[in-house]
């Protein structure tokens, strides 16, 4: 039995944050019913066509779900929503601020009617405050949270290459829902969860915030290098390939000098005798390391790092990750069905393959509308009427 089998989740969701949250609930066995607009559906369905005509974001965040289309501006569709919520455990939404209030589907409107229901609202800035109604996309929250101020190099910020603010919000939605389910098991009562993308990202920014507390200088923009530890980041080998490495303490610095760059005298150099000094003199030390690596291939550098017990990594591109030997050895890839055929998918982190993680198909738009309506007690004639009026 999967951990969340028997849990029913209804989701008013689009883009990434809420779908990523509910997909993970689905991974654990929850039934996730995704409510979409008739005709167009979740706009993330059309972000690109990279996966045999399907959108890369969508297939990532929407497996193991059922899709029902509802035009919630129509009373008949709102009636369907209430039938869906009548035995639901969790309601997740990330519509525009105020949308569920206007529909009478916000927590305050639902709490008395469905006292066991857990309602999770995911928004850019939270459900109150002066920026409540401000539009919020991932890159904008990366900027607003201060994340962009410490990325990039030479005064040029660089966004994270994946939807980090959406992912942060989705993860906090997911973990808070799991906690609320445990709490409800003790109290019998549901709970309201208000997830803000801004707050999620600011929590992840706590280290640089504390580093800059009381007006102190913020971490420098140092590209892929660590802003406050050195050497820690990318270094080019003689064959032009990049090796990532990281030192954590003075013991590792001594070994690095002796075994990796073979300059043991540097351990006595006052410029480099503490991490703070190495950060202050990073340009000088970077030149020394570059010279030491210039006659070595990336593989030779990694061999020396491994011999010294220094943490290191290759700078893989997407093609290398698809064929990563560690993921293959641990059998972390499987297949998921989509309307365009089977695609590879990573097994959910933390779930043992012996537990048979749920990896059900990515749904076509409205694929489950009729079966769900029949389950809710609608007759074939009534479903036909709903289709005629555009309610589904």
What is the average per-residue pLDDT within 362-390?
A: 97
Residue 274's pLDDT band (cuts 50, 70, 90): very high
Question: Which neighbouring-strand residues pair with 158?
Answer: none
Among candidates 268, 251, 264, which has minimal Cα distance to 311?
251
- Around 164, how many Cα atoms within 13 Å sit in the side-chain half-sphere? 18
Q: What is the pTM of this model?
A: 0.92
* 3-class secondary-structure state, position 92: strand
Q: What is the pLDDT of residue 47?
A: 96
Q: What is the pLDDT of residue 351?
A: 85
Domains present along the chain, CATH in parentheses: 8-204+341-389 (3.40.50.10540), 232-315 (3.30.1540.10)
pLDDT in tens, 323-348: 999 999 999 999 999 999 999 999 99
Question: Which neighbouring-strand residues pair with 68?
Answer: 35
* 3-class secondary-structure state, position 69: strand
pLDDT in tens, 99-120: 999 999 999 999 999 999 999 9
Q: From CA 140, how far away is CA 137, in angstroms rounded?
A: 5
Identify whether 352 is a catalytic site residue.
Answer: no
Q: With contact defined as beta carbons under 8 Å apart, do 26 and 65 qualify?
A: yes
For residue 78, report the phi and psi dihedrals to the nearest 5 degrees.
-65, -35
pLDDT in tens, 32-47: 999 999 999 999 999 9
Q: What is the pLDDT of residue 76?
A: 97
Q: From CA 16, how far away is CA 11, in angstroms rounded?
A: 12
Q: From CA 261, how far away is CA 307, in angstroms rounded?
A: 12
Residue 355's pLDDT band (cuts 50, 70, 90): confident
Q: With contact defined as beta carbons under 8 Å apart, do 362 and 336 qualify?
A: yes
Q: With contact defined as beta carbons under 8 Å apart, do 245 and 310 qualify?
A: yes
User: Which one from 71, 128, 166, 352 is the annotated catalytic residue?
Assistant: 166
pLDDT in tens, 198-230: 999 999 999 999 999 999 999 988 888 999 999
pLDDT in tens, 127-154: 999 999 999 999 999 999 999 999 998 8
Q: What is the pLDDT of residue 154?
A: 83
> Is the pLDDT reported for residue 58 higher than 90?
yes
Q: From CA 357, how far away is CA 98, in angstroms rounded?
A: 36
CA torsion 83→89→94→97, rounded to 10°?
Answer: 70
Sheet bearing 232-236, strands edge to edge: 232-236, 242-246, 311-314
Kindly state the percentage of the chain with pLDDT values over 90.
94
> Is the pLDDT reported for residue 353 higher than 90?
no
Residues 6+ apart with CB under 8 A from 161: none
**Interhelix angle 164-187/197-204, nearest 10 degrees:** 100
pLDDT in tens, 59-100: 999 999 999 999 999 999 999 999 999 999 999 999 988 999
Q: From CA 392, how far away is CA 36, in angstroms rounded?
A: 9
Residue 352's pLDDT band (cuts 50, 70, 90): confident
């Amino acid at each position: 039995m999967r951990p969340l089998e028997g849990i029913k989740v209804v989701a008013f969701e689009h883009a990434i944050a809420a779908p990523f949250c509910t997909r993970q609930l689905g991974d654990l066995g929850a039934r996730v019913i995704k409510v979409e607009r008739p005709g167009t559906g979740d706009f993330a369905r059309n972000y690109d066509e990279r996966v045999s005509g399907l959108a890369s974001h969508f297939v990532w965040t929407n497996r193991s779900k059922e899709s029902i289309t509802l035009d919630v501006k129509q009373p008949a569709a709102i009636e369907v929503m209430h039938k869906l919520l009548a035995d639901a455990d969790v309601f997740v939404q990330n519509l525009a601020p105020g949308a569920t209030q206007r529909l009478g589907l916000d927590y305050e409107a639902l709490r008395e009617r469905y006292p066991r229901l857990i309602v999770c609202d995911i928004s850019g800035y939270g459900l109150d405050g002066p920026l409540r109604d401000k539009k919020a996309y991932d890159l904008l929250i990366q900027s607003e949270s201060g994340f962009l101020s410490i990325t990039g190099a030479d005064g040029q910020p660089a966004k994270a290459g994946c939807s980090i603010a959406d992912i942060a919000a989705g993860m906090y939605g997911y973990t808070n829902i799991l906690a609320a389910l445990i709490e409800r098991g003790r109290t019998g009562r549901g709970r309201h969860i208000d997830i803000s993308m801004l707050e999620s990202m600011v929590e992840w920014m706590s280290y640089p915030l504390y580093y800059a507390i009381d007006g102190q200088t913020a971490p420098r923009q140092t590209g892929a290098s660590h802003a406050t530890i050195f050497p820690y980041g990318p270094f080019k080998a003689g064959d032009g390939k990049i090796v990532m490495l990281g030192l954590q303490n003075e013991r590792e610095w001594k070994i690095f000098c002796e075994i990796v760059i073979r300059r043991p005298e540097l351990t006595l150099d006052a410029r480099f005798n503490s991490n703070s000094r190495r950060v202050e003199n990073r340009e000088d030390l970077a030149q020394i390391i570059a010279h030491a690596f210039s006659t070595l291939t990336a593989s030779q550098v990694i061999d020396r790092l491994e011999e010294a017990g220094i943490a290191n990594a290759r700078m893989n591109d997407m093609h290398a990750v698809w064929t990563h030997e560690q993921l293959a050895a641990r059998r972390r890839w499987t297949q998921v069905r989509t309307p365009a055929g089977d695609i590879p998918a990573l097994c959910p982190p933390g779930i043992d393959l012996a537990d048979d993680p749920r990896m059900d198909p990515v749904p076509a738009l409205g694929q489950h509308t009729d079966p769900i309506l029949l389950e809710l007690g609608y007759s074939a004639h009534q479903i036909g009427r709903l289709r005629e009026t555009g309610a589904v």
